[in-house]
Amino acid sequence: MQPTSHHHRSVAALDIGRLALLAGSLLVCGCGYSNESLHPQTIRTVYVEMFQSREFRRGIEFELTEALRKEINVSTPYTNAPPEKADTILSGEVLEWRESSLGWDPIAIRPRETAATLIVRYRWKDVRTGKLLRDRPRFVTTVTYVRPAGETAAEGRLDAVSKLARNIVGDMENSW
CATH assignment of the domain containing 53: 3.30.160.150
Does residue 88 contact residue 94 with C-beta atoms inside 8 Å?
no
Across the chain, mean pLDDT equals: 82
Are residues 28 and 52 located together in one domain of the fold?
A: no
Using pLDDT thresholds of 50, 70 and 90, give the confidence band for residue 47.
very high
Model confidence at 17, pLDDT cuts 50, 70, 90, reads: low
- What is the value of pTM for the model shown? 0.74
* 5 contact partners, CB below 8 Å, separation of at least 6: none
Examine the domain organization and report whether 1 and 49 are in the same domain: no
Residue 22 inside a domain? The answer is yes
Task: Please tell me whether residues 149 and 83 are part of one structural domain.
Answer: yes
Provide the 10 A C-beta neighbour count for residue 77.
12
Domain count, the chain: 2
Q: Is residue 62 part of a domain?
A: yes
Task: Say yes or no: 29 and 82 in one domain.
Answer: no
18/50 same-domain check = no
Residues of the chain with pLDDT > 70: what percent?
75
In a domain? residue 159: yes
Q: Range with the lowest mean pLDDT among 29-43, 90-104, 130-144?
A: 29-43
79 and 145 in a single domain? The answer is yes
What was the pLDDT predicted at 95?
96
In three-state secondary structure terms, 159 is helix
- Is 85 within 8 Å of 124 (Cβ atoms)? no
Comparing 75 with 23, which gets the higher pLDDT? 75
Residues 22 and 53 in one domain: no
Q: Is residue 38 part of a domain?
A: no
Residues 83 and 6 in one domain: no
- In a domain, residue 176? The reply is no
Per mean pLDDT, which range of 5-19, 34-48, 73-87, 160-174 is the poorest?
Answer: 5-19
The verdict on residue 113 lying in a domain is yes
pLDDT at position 19: 52
Please indicate, yes or no, whether residues 107 and 127 belong to a single structural domain of this protein. yes
Query: Is the same domain home to 114 and 92?
Result: yes
Average pLDDT for 141-158: 85
Q: Is the pLDDT of residue 27 over 60?
A: no
40 occurs within a structural domain: no
Angle in degrees, 0-180, between the axes of helices 153-171 and 60-75, rounded to the nearest 10: 50
- Is the predicted pLDDT of residue 26 greater than 50, yes or no? no
What range defines the domain where residue 12 resides? Answer: 1-33
Q: Are residues 26 and 72 in the same domain?
A: no
